[in-house]
Amino acid sequence: MLRKFLGTLLVCSATLAAGTTPTIDESLGMKSVSGAQISPDGRYVAYTVQEANWDENDFVTRIWLANTATGERIQLTAGKKSSSNPQWAPDSRRLAFTSSRDGKPQIYVIAAAGGEAAQLTNEENGVGSIAWSPDGASIAFTGTGPDPKTTKDRKEQYGEFDIIGGDYKMVHLWRVKTPAEIPGDVKKLPQAEALTKGEEFSVSGFAWSPDGKRIAFSATRDPDLGSQDTERIYVLDLADLHVRKLADSGGPNSGPKWSPDGKDIAYTTANGQKFFYYANRYIATIPAEGGTPRVLTEAFDEDPNLIDWGPDGIYFGAPRKTNAHVFRLDAGTRTIERITGPDDFHASGASFTKDHRTFAGVGAAPNRFAEIFVSPAAGFAPKYLTDVSAQWKDFQLTTREVVSWKSSDGATIEGILIKPADYDRARKYPLLVVIHGGPTGVDTAVRSADRYYPVERFAAKGALVLRPNYRGSAGYGAKFRALNVRNLGVGDYADVIAGVDSLIAKGLVDKDRVGAMGWSEGGYISAFITCYSDRFKAVSVGAGISDWVTYYVNTDIHPFTRQYLKATPWDDPEIYRKTSPITYVGRARTPTLIQQGDQDKRVPPPDSYELYQALKDKGVPVKLIFYKGFGHPINKPKQQRAVMEHNYEWFSKYIWGEEVGK
Tell me the DSSP string of 362-404. EEE-TTSB-EEEEEESSS---EE---GGGGGTTB---EEEEEE
CATH of the domain at 54: 2.120.10.30
What does the pLDDT read at residue 13? 38
- What distance in Å separates the CA atoms of residue 102 and residue 95, rounded to the nearest whole number? 19
Determine, yes or no, domain membership for 110. yes
**Domain co-membership, 347 together with 429:** no
**Domain co-membership, 480 together with 367:** no
Structure confidence by residue, pLDDT tens digits, 86-122:
999 999 999 999 999 888 999 999 999 888 999 999 9
- What distance in Å separates the CA atoms of residue 606 and residue 599, rounded to the nearest whole number? 11
Is residue 290 left, alpha or beta, with left meaning phi > 0 and alpha meaning psi from -120 to 50? left
Structure confidence by residue, pLDDT tens digits, 229-258:
999 999 999 999 999 999 788 889 999 999
DSSP string, 162-198: --TTT-----EEEEEE--SS--SSGGGSPPPEESS-S
**Domain co-membership, 622 together with 567:** yes
Structure confidence by residue, pLDDT tens digits, 444-460:
999 999 999 999 999 99
Four-point Cα dihedral 69, 75, 77, 80, nearest 10: 150
- What distance in Å separates the CA atoms of residue 433 and residue 518, rounded to the nearest whole number? 8
Determine, yes or no, domain membership for 106. yes
- What distance in Å separates the CA atoms of residue 218 and residue 583, rounded to the nearest whole number? 41
**Domain co-membership, 374 together with 522:** no
Q: Residue 606's domain spans which residues?
A: 395-656
| Domain final residue, candidates 391, 426, 456 | 391
Determine, yes or no, domain membership for 15. no
- What distance in Å separates the CA atoms of residue 366 and residue 447, rounded to the nearest whole number? 7
Residue 598 neighbours by CB under 8 Å, 6+ apart: 605, 626, 627, 628, 629, 630
Longest dimension (CA), the chain: 74
Kindly tell me the sign of the dihedral angle through the C-alpha atoms of 266, 271, 272, 275.
negative
**Residue 18 reports pLDDT greater than 50:** no
Structure confidence by residue, pLDDT tens digits, 272-308:
999 999 999 999 999 999 999 999 999 999 999 999 9
Q: What is the mean pLDDT of residues 435-443?
A: 96
Determine, yes or no, domain membership for 108. yes
**Domain co-membership, 228 together with 367:** yes
Determine, yes or no, domain membership for 127. yes
pLDDT classification of 8: cutoffs 50, 70, 90: very low
Q: Please say whether the beta carbons of 546 and 527 come within 8 A.
A: yes
| Domain final residue, candidates 363, 391, 419 | 391
**Residue 10 reports pLDDT greater than 50:** no
Read off the amino acid at residue 170.
M
Determine, yes or no, domain membership for 26. no
Read off the amino acid at residue 81.
K
Question: What mean pLDDT value characterizes the chain?
Answer: 94
3-state SS, residue 486: coil
**Domain co-membership, 440 together with 376:** no
- What distance in Å separates the CA atoms of residue 226 and residue 23, rounded to the nearest whole number? 41
Chain-centroid distance of CA 337 in Å reads: 25
Kindly tell me the sign of the dihedral angle through the C-alpha atoms of 569, 570, 575, 577.
positive
Determine, yes or no, domain membership for 1. no
What does the pLDDT read at residue 661? 64
**Domain co-membership, 371 together with 491:** no
**Domain co-membership, 369 together with 415:** no
Chain-centroid distance of CA 91 in Å reads: 31
Chain-centroid distance of CA 584 in Å reads: 32
**Residue 55 reports pLDDT greater than 60:** yes
Determine, yes or no, domain membership for 164. no
**Domain co-membership, 416 together with 380:** no
Q: Report which secondary-structure segment, H or E, holds 654.
A: helix 637-656
228 phi and psi, to 5 degrees? -60, -35
Query: Percent of the chain at pLDDT above 70?
Result: 97
Whose CA is closest to 440, among 485, 378, 493?
485
**Number of structural domains in the chain:** 2
**Domain co-membership, 146 together with 240:** yes
**Domain co-membership, 340 together with 477:** no
Q: What is the mean pLDDT of residues 62-75?
A: 97
CATH of the domain at 463: 3.40.50.1820
- What distance in Å separates the CA atoms of residue 49 and residue 64, rounded to the nearest whole number? 7
3-state SS, residue 427: coil
Secondary structure, 3-state, 258-313:
ECCCCCEEEEEECCCCCCCCCCCCEEEEEECCCCCCEECCCCCCCCCEEEEEECCE
| Domain final residue, candidates 337, 365, 391 | 391
**Domain co-membership, 313 together with 381:** yes
